[in-house]
Amino acid sequence: MSESSFVRKEPCPQCGSRDNLGRYSDGHGHCFGCDYYEPGDGSAPQTSRKAKMSRELISGGEYRALSKRGITEETCRKFGYQIGHFKDQLVHIAPYYDDEGNLTAQKVRFADKTFTVTGNMKPALLFGQNLWSGGGRKVVITEGEIDAMSVSQVQGNKWPVVSIQNGAQSAKKALSNALEWLTTFEEVVLMFDMDEPGREAAAACAALFPPGKCKIARLPDKDPNALLMAGKGDEIITAVWQAQTYRPDGVVVFKDIKEAARRPIEMGLRWFSDRLTKLTYGRRWGEVYAFGAGTGIGKTDFLTQQITFDVTELGQKVGVFFLEQMPTETAKRLAGKFSGRRFHIPDDGWTEAELDEALDKLDQDMLFFYDSFGATEWSVIRETIRYLVHSEDVKVFYIDHLTALAAAEDDERKALEQIMAEMAALAKELGIIIHLVSHLSTPEGKPHEEGGRVMIRHFKGSRAIGFWCHYMFGLERDQQHDDERLRSVTTFRVLKDRYTGQATGEIIYLGYERESGRLYETSIEFGDETSPASDDTPF
């Protein structure tokens, strides 16, 4: 084996020590406590080498107060915790018993805080479990033996306290093995260390118990012994009795939300359509809004007008992901909505000076475009959104279209389900608003481009979109209507309203002003598939 250098300390998978295993530059690892060995990248395979663990229990130990730890001799005697000699070193010896009361293993702690194990730890109970019969009111569980003795000592060594054998990384397995005994108590209090591994282990262990049985204690210091050494034993007792019943992330009780529920409902961000704002109570942070329309119906007109409104009227920074339109084309359309000129149509009566003026007015570092024509990957879009939120303070996003994000996937439906779940989670996590466009499947009967009604099931990925979106909207227009005036009227239909439910089924008619290229609300009532219009419908 070639020479290698020490890299870091790691937990040992054999004896469970936190940092006894040394990892070296060639990949091999060696535990200085139990002699466990892992071959590395630069080592020849060694399948015959076994970890060395002394099977002989240490005898001749004595009971002493652990003055540096604030533990009395009485407490050490209670738990059988001794001071002795091992390999010519003065060590701490923590005894472990099996379910028949036999001493089966000892954890040997050295002065440098490393440790090894003698005997056989496999049948061992939790540290201290042999002292207490089951069926009491409360049992406290700590990460280490000294912490367990600290908690017991401040309670007069009268109430059940135990410790897991090998620290946070093995806590769940240790408590799983002791679950039958632990569940005989009315309450199980986890008093693990306050570092991240300790908190994560507590949450993982709490899920093992029936609802309401397990509580998690919060300490004002790193662990119980730190409080004992600081003369704050009373705070350990307080933490035991104030331990909170474990609830999985996302579960709240009524009192946690009562004050928020008292606050009056506030109107969210406005739409450019006043009627749509009234129907939906605006747009709220953390929500996703879906739009579905056939080809050439006017969804781009709707979105660009809303984007311009968000920037110029609401002062919002906006991220635009139009995956089938070049940013320069989108910029012209936005400038046109701003100035009331159709800059995207050649020879429509506008001048270069008008275009320049409109572009200059929109150039206020409020608009951010994603430059990608055609299909792209959702993972790239997701991280770009995250970047714009954190680096540019963008809070409003538009994605056209959803289907392009799954175009490269073998299973489009499955991909859309995953994308929608992640998109909804992203909106909630970052507190942003996402507007997305979905392509529609071909309907039975009249096409959407000829006024056919848009339904939720027409959205590609409708199941996932319907599940995760807060609102769904359909846009319909009869491009082939005999009356030229009606060809430019779009039916904007609310298909889903998760917020109140009362807007579902509502319709807004949007006219199109050719000269300005802007949409406007109209009171015209012409027929759709559910309410046929008379032949003399006025315009």
3-state secondary structure 42-75: CCCCCCCCCCCCCCCCCCCCECCCEHHHCECHHH
Sheet with 103-109: list strands edge to edge: 82-86, 89-97, 103-109, 115-119
Q: What is the pLDDT of residues 145-183, one digit of tens each?
A: 999 999 999 999 999 999 999 889 899 999 999 999 999
C-alpha span between 254 and 68 (Å, rounded): 46
One-letter amino acid identity for 245?
T
- What pLDDT, in 10s, does the model give residues 114-157? 989 999 999 999 999 999 988 889 999 999 999 999 999 999 99
Q: Who contacts 425 (Cβ-Cβ below 8 Å, separation ≥6)?
A: none
- d(CA 505, CA 488) in angstroms, rounded, equals 22
Distances (CA, A) of 387 to 152, 274, 372: 50, 32, 17
* Structural contact between residues 75 and 157, judged by C-beta atoms closer than 8 angstroms: yes
- Do 313 and 336 touch, CB atoms closer than 8 A? no
User: Amino acid identity, residue 47?
Assistant: T
What's the rounded Cα separation, in Å, for the pair 209 and 199? 16
The predicted structure's pLDDT at residue 299: 85
Model pLDDT for residues 488-517, shown as the tens digit of each residue:
788 999 999 999 999 999 999 999 888 888
* Residues 236-275: tens digit of each pLDDT: 999 999 999 987 766 677 887 888 788 887 799 999 999 9
Identify the structural domains of the chain with CATH numbers, from first to last: 1-53 (2.20.25.10), 67-245 (3.40.1360.10), 283-522 (3.40.50.300)
**Beta partners for residue 189, in sequence order:** 140, 215
Query: What phi and psi, each to the nearest 5 degrees, are found at residue 276?
Result: -65, -35
Residue 126 in contact with residue 165, Cβ under 8 Å? yes
The tokens 């909630």 sit on which residue?
428
Stronger pLDDT, 524 or 357, i.e. the higher one: 357
For residues 133, 138, 144, 145, the Cα torsion angle rounded to the nearest 10 degrees is -40
**pTM passes above 0.85:** no
Best CA proximity match to 299, nearest among 367, 400, 373: 400
